[in-house]
Amino acid sequence: MSSNIRPLKKQKIRQENEKTILDAAEKVFAEAGYGGATMQLIADVAGLPKANLHYYFPTKEALYRQVVQNIFDVWLQAAAVFDNATGPAEALGAYIDAKMEISRRHPAGSKVWASEVMHRAPVIQDYLETTLVDWTNDRIKVIQSWVEAGLMDAVDPRHLLYMIWATTQHYADFNHQIETLNDAQPLSDAQWQNAKRSVKRIILKGIGVPESELSKL
């Protein structure tokens, strides 16, 4: 029966068009902010007529919601590397690396996220209150256990996490300022390596990871 074939083909068209629109939307929302972004501009970037956007996403707000939720998924993905390690040097080092890599590869997403949180998280507040709070409290316990095991200094885990988030995301959210301070050039591969190493070294040394662990970075 053709009724079994047709829906699958349509589903594929829908999937591809939604991805094209979402990619364009993320870029435009990041560059112009929610209020500054227009459906017309997103449509132009996506290479589609404006009306098609409303066919796939009923409203501008619904499109924005989907963009923000996709970014939250990327964030959770990076958070996973935290757990596949035994001590602070390995776990936090891998976590910083993962977040720096996201800042490098996915700066638009980070900017949309930052803008959403700066504007009091109108869309993502429920996720902050549930998933983020739970994740953070779990990680705080892990860090506390490292402190008790003598693997690191007795620093406040909460402010350590904030510092990691702030610093790694800074390379995405403020990439324009960083480029301006780098002779208007994007960071080269070597400069990114240097950035990662510098960030990891200062933070890990700052929380009391011994020099023998730091030399492995």
Partner DNA sequence: GTCTATACACTGATAGAC
Partner DNA sequence: GTCTATCAGTGTATAGAC
Nearer to DNA, 59 or 182 (CB): 59
For DNA, which residue of 1, 5, 8, 51 counts as binding (CB under 7 A)? 51
* Rounded alpha-carbon distances, angstroms, from residue 79 to 91, 99, 137, 202: 10, 8, 13, 20
* Rounded alpha-carbon distances, angstroms, from residue 100 to 2, 36, 146: 48, 27, 23
For DNA, which residue of 31, 44, 45, 52 counts as binding (CB under 7 A)? 52
Give alpha helix (H) positions in the chain: 2-36, 39-46, 50-56, 60-80, 88-105, 107-118, 125-127, 133-148, 157-173, 175-180, 189-206, 211-214
119 binds a copy of itself (CB under 8 A): yes
For DNA, which residue of 25, 37, 78, 172 counts as binding (CB under 7 A)? 37
150 makes contact, choosing from a copy of itself, DNA, none, with CB < 5 to 8 Å by partner type, with none
54 binds DNA (CB under 7 A): yes
Scanning 11-19, 53-61, 67-75, 113-121 for contacts with a copy of itself by CB under 8 A, the matching segment is: 113-121
Among 71, 67, 68, 13, CA closest to 45: 67
55 binds DNA (CB under 7 A): yes
* Rounded alpha-carbon distances, angstroms, from residue 125 to 35, 48, 64, 152: 19, 31, 14, 33
Q: Is the separation of the CB atoms in 144 and 67 below 8 Å?
A: no
Residues near DNA (CB under 7 A) are: 10-11, 13-14, 17, 37-40, 48-52, 54-55, 58-61
Residues near a copy of itself (CB under 8 A) are: 30-37, 111, 114-115, 117-121, 125, 128-129, 132-133, 136, 153, 155-156, 158-160, 162-163, 165-167, 169-171, 173-174, 176-178, 180-181, 194-195, 198-199, 201-208
